[in-house]
Amino acid sequence: MFDRFQLYVERQASSPFRYVWEQSVLTLFGWVPTVLGIGLRAAAYRLILRMEGVAAVESGVRIRFAQYITLGSGSYVDQNAYLHACPNGIRIGDRSFVMHGAVLHVFNFRSLPHAGIRIGSDSLVSEYCVIRGQGGVDIGDRVYLAPSVQILAVNHVFGDPERPMIEQGITAEGVTIQDDVWIGAGAVVVDGVTLGAGSVVGAGAVVTKDVESRTVVGGSPARVIRRIEDSCDKQPEKVYL
């Protein structure tokens, strides 16, 4: 029983002391509603995470490994978001928003060297998005993720039919999303993919290969629909975002 308790604590904070300290601050201030709560957390959460300027955190936000979380000036984390920085870190840039129900999870229990999530400035992670950062997720400036987008920087190895999949390990190459990218609702970006600057991913697409800059892709698996600088003389295929 003690071993299980110890494992639980190790997956919530960097030490038993940090677990007690972070959970105490979250319990005291995490529930307070309205702008009063936002103001209290803007001060109190500096005790457990890094704030660069003033950031707004709504009530009910679940935070783990808080000491490895950085919130930029003017950033905003909405109710019921889940930030688990275990332990390579999450950075949310200046004026970037993480909306209701979004999950940002580094999930680095295997000591992967590049694990982590970095979000640039003026970006949006919409409702119920999931970002898994085992291989590292690097999101640029002015990137918009529509609701329920999934960015998954990890993949399971399953090629040996004689061994259970859980024993075959994972791969974690990382995902890079450059500046000014728009990803439509319900799209999935898998491990090892780079989305070039100014690219657009249609709703429901499954992106399994790199996307060049200023290119629109859609479908499953995603394919190129058009280049954004192409002539508009002919009607482009519709892309639902």
Predicted local distance difference test score (pLDDT) of residue 160: 81
What tens digit of pLDDT does each residue of 89-145 get?
999 999 999 999 999 999 877 778 889 999 999 999 999 999 999 999 999 999 999
- Mark whether 156 is an active-site residue: yes
CB atoms within 10 A of CB 23: 18
Where do the domains of the chain lie? Answer: 2-227
What pLDDT score does 214 carry?
97
> Which runs of E-coded beta strand occur in 16-108?
50-51, 56-57, 62-64, 69-71, 76-77, 82-84, 90-92, 97-98, 103-105
Output b/e per residue, 193-203; b: 16+ Cβ within 10 A.
Answer: bbbbbbbbbbb
Q: Could you say which of 100, 105, 114, 156 is catalytic? A: 156
Confidence grade of residue 237 (pLDDT, cut at 50, 70, 90): low
- The tens digit of pLDDT for each residue in 39-89 reads 999 999 999 999 999 999 999 999 999 999 999 999 999 999 999 998 789
What fold is seen in the domain 2-227?
UDP N-Acetylglucosamine Acyltransferase; domain 1 (2.160.10)
User: What pLDDT does 184 receive?
Assistant: 97
